[in-house]
Amino acid sequence: MRSRVTAVLLLAAGFLVTAPSAACACSCASQPPADQMKRSAAVFTGTVVASRQAEGGDPLGPRPPIVYTFRADQVYKSDPVVQFEVASNADTPACGYQFTTGGRYLVFASSEPTGVVPPVPGVPLHTGQCSGNRQVGTGTDPLRPGDRVVSGDPVDAALITALGTPKRPSGTAPVGSATPQASPVVSGGEDGPIKIWYAAGGFAAGFVLFAGLRLFGRRRATRPGPDAGWASPPDS
């Protein structure tokens, strides 16, 4: 009987401990875009190219954060680098923002420790549901008022004003741009036309030599020999 009472008490205690955390949901206060810019260390649009779960974490606690790798196309704040790594909580109730690989996002990332996202070694930037992130339409152009938004607040004039003028990361090219192919005529570099000129000249010289030899052979075949006109006397 005592063991049953103990089991019931432990079960009730576990429910009281886990129920609040399970029922907890992320609640965000409304922030104007200008405040979102001030609170962020990096603001950019980019496409998610990879994700991984950070190491460590408490087996009995929440899951470690997810680290997302972005290929940036426009940088509104921070150095215009090609790639950003940003951490976010893995669980939605913990205000984790779940990015989708292949999606393009406007990302507001902070570097200040807030206690919401556990620090990830080597990844100073973190973000969440309350940061102001938006999934936007594909492309690489700067955002404009009225641009399509897949999820999140719309792209309006107030947001564009707060973002300011972006910088394109160095070493990037617009998606779908074709790499110009070298012309076959100049594929050999600066000496290509010269080599082709020599090849054409050699072909012409060979043709002239061949034609001359044939003409000379024909004339030699029709020319009378040294004994022409001398007939052998008839046999007596």
CA 96 to chain centre: 24
85-89: list long-range contacts, CB under 8 Å, 24+ apart. Answer: 85/122, 85/123, 85/125, 86/42, 86/123, 86/125, 86/126, 86/127, 87/54, 87/117, 87/120, 87/123, 87/125, 87/126, 87/127, 88/117, 88/126, 88/127, 88/128, 89/62, 89/65, 89/116, 89/117, 89/128
Are 162 and 34 contacting, i.e. CB atoms less than 8 angstroms apart? yes
pTM (2 d.p.): 0.63
pLDDT in tens, 42-67: 999 999 999 999 988 667 778 999 99
pLDDT in tens for each of the 236 residues of the chain? 455 544 434 444 443 333 334 346 788 988 999 999 999 999 999 999 999 999 886 677 789 999 999 999 999 999 999 999 999 999 999 999 999 999 999 999 999 988 889 999 999 999 999 999 999 999 999 999 999 999 999 999 999 999 999 999 986 544 333 333 333 333 333 344 434 333 444 545 555 445 555 655 555 555 555 554 444 455 54
> 127-140: per-residue pLDDT in tens?
999 999 999 999 99
pLDDT of residue 16: 38
Instruction: Write the DSSP symbol of residue 16.
Output: H
Tokens describing residue 226 = 């040294």
